[in-house]
Amino acid sequence: MTKKEEERLLKKVNQLEKAVAKLQLAFENNKIEKSFYTVREVAEMLHRTPRAIYNMIERGELDTVKLGGIKIKGDSLNELLKGETA
């Protein structure tokens, strides 16, 4: 691994650590209050792309309903966060 690759990897690790800290804080403060979230909202919360969220839905990691568009259930998001932050 080159020095430049190592620096990029460390930067990515730092970004992920910050994202996990934000998720833990949101979970601890019980900010997952809505019943339904858009794919975009969940992508922003989890620091992922909307495509990554659709992939999670396809794998059955998030429960959804169709309300004019795909909406992710808040309870499902809470369960995911409990699993990721435990």
Domain parsing of the chain, residue ranges:
3-85
* Residue 39: per-residue pLDDT: 95
Q: What is the pTM of this model?
A: 0.59
Confidence band, pLDDT 50/70/90 cuts, at residue 70: very high
Three-state SS sequence of 5-33? HHHHHHHHHHHHHHHHHHHHHHHHCCCCC
Residue 4, pLDDT score: 92
Residue 24 carries which side chain, given as an amino acid letter?
Q
Give the three-state DSSP class for 65: strand
